[in-house]
Amino acid sequence: MQSEAVALFEEWGLLGNALVLLASLVVLDKASDWAITNSVKIADITGFGKTTIGFILVAFSTSLPELCVSLFAAIGGESMGVAIGNVLGSNIANICLILGVCFLIMTLKSSDVVKLAPFMAKEEMGTLYFGLFVASVVPLTLLYIGFASRIIGVILLAIFVFYVYQLSKVRTIREEGALGEERQKLPWYTTVAFVGIALVVASSYFIVDAASFIAESVGIPPVVIGATIVAFGTSLPELATCIDAVQKGHLDLALGNIVGSCFINITCILGVALIGSPLTVNMAAFSNLVMFSLITNLLLWYFLSSERISWREGTMLLIMYGVFLVTSYGGYRA
């Protein structure tokens, strides 16, 4: 898939790729607006709550790039390390980079401390805590037992299916959702939301391809492109939808999207990758990634438990991401 797109863009040249990049950015902006606006309407009509909609619908859809990368890597067998590295690296980027940016935007917009209580019900906070708990415990457990195999993949996938089923029952508590004509429009809102999310994912793919071609044309090494543009590109859908959600005042939807993505990455995506791989993976090689992922999860847990967000929390997360990049690059150089 990657090689075909690169060949196509090579024929278009530098100017053609610059136009593709510009057009994709415009589509990304509009598509994320569709995705968030209609997801909020779905939450209001169904009574699920914006955090739950973000956790399931938006998070799963924006995690499709990670799913594709991990699945193709797993099928390759020898590239299973790429799949695990992608899952853990994406989780760190989701929390440190994306939520860091979102927290800064939210607090700068309100010019004050943002309290989570008006945004989120207790059961929605519980959803976030459980997602962070699983995203923390699973990698730590795999590191402790020392390996990951197909059986573990089946267990992770079972955890994902079970919890999504549990979440689907939360709506009975919130049955006072909108009625009448709005409820009849639910299929339309759902279709537009999925179209928006699909366009977000597709435009992100083209942005990565075009940017990679441009970077390579000006002499940037492929390994640097892979470690920056491609790695960032798999988290671009989450970034676009979360920034749009925060700008519209839906912090709960953004938090549901990010924590949901982390939960989906570590259960569904890693589970599918392990099932698709014939190899047993030695987890010792990922000890640094696992520990950094654990630290970022605990940091977000602490921020959520204080029920207040300010520019300090956003800045701290962005600094953490900077430290992660520096230590990762230092490890690669060594």
Read off the pLDDT of residues 9-18 as tens digits, 9 standing for 90 and up.
667 788 888 8
Q: pLDDT tens digits for 158-212?
A: 999 998 888 877 654 444 444 566 778 888 989 998 898 888 888 877 877 777 7
Q: pLDDT tens digits for 289-310?
A: 889 999 999 999 999 888 788 8
- Of 31-35, 165-169, 250-254, 308-312, where does mean pLDDT reach its minimum? 165-169
User: What pLDDT sits at residue 170?
Assistant: 64
Return the closest-CA partner of residue 297 out of 91, 138, 124, 126. Answer: 91
CA dist list (Å): 78 to 42, 88, 257: 42, 18, 31
Q: pLDDT tens digits for 38-86?
A: 888 887 787 777 778 888 778 887 787 777 767 766 776 546 776 787 7
Sign of dihedral through CA atoms 262, 267, 269, 270? positive
User: What pLDDT sits at residue 144?
Assistant: 92
The DSSP string of 284-329 is GGGHHHHHHHHHHHHHHHHHHHHTEE-HHHHHHHHHHHHHHHHHHH
User: What pLDDT sits at residue 225?
Assistant: 60
Neighbour tally for 191: CB within 10 Å: 11
Q: How far apart are CA 21 and CA 33, in angstroms?
A: 19
User: What pLDDT sits at residue 6?
Assistant: 45
Mean pLDDT of 270-281: 83
Amino acid found at 309: I
227 pLDDT above the threshold of 60: no
Mean pLDDT of 217-233: 63
Mean pLDDT of 306-324: 90
How many domains would you assign to the chain?
Answer: 1
The angle subtended at Cα 94 by Cα 91 and Cα 100, nearest 5°, is 135
- CATH number of the CATH domain containing 154: 1.20.1420.30
Whether the Cβ atoms of residue 310 and residue 117 lie closer than 8 Å to each other: no
Band the pLDDT of 334: cuts 50, 70, 90.
Answer: very low
User: What pLDDT sits at residue 79?
Assistant: 61
| Most trustworthy range by pLDDT among 252-256, 269-273, 317-321 | 317-321
Whether the Cβ atoms of residue 238 and residue 261 lie closer than 8 Å to each other: yes
- According to DSSP, the residues that pair with 281 across neighbouring strands are 148
Amino acid found at 39: S
Band the pLDDT of 314: cuts 50, 70, 90.
Answer: very high
Q: pLDDT tens digits for 92-130?
A: 989 999 999 999 998 887 766 777 655 556 667 788 889
Whether the Cβ atoms of residue 83 and residue 268 lie closer than 8 Å to each other: no
| Helical spans, DSSP H, in the chain | 2-46, 50-53, 59-62, 64-75, 80-92, 100-110, 122-145, 150-168, 181-184, 186-217, 222-225, 231-233, 236-247, 251-264, 270-276, 287-306, 311-333
For residue 99, give its domain range. 2-333
Residue 215 CB partners (closer than 8 Å, separation 6+): 224, 225, 229
Q: How far apart are CA 130 and CA 133, in angstroms?
A: 5
Mean pLDDT of 144-157: 91
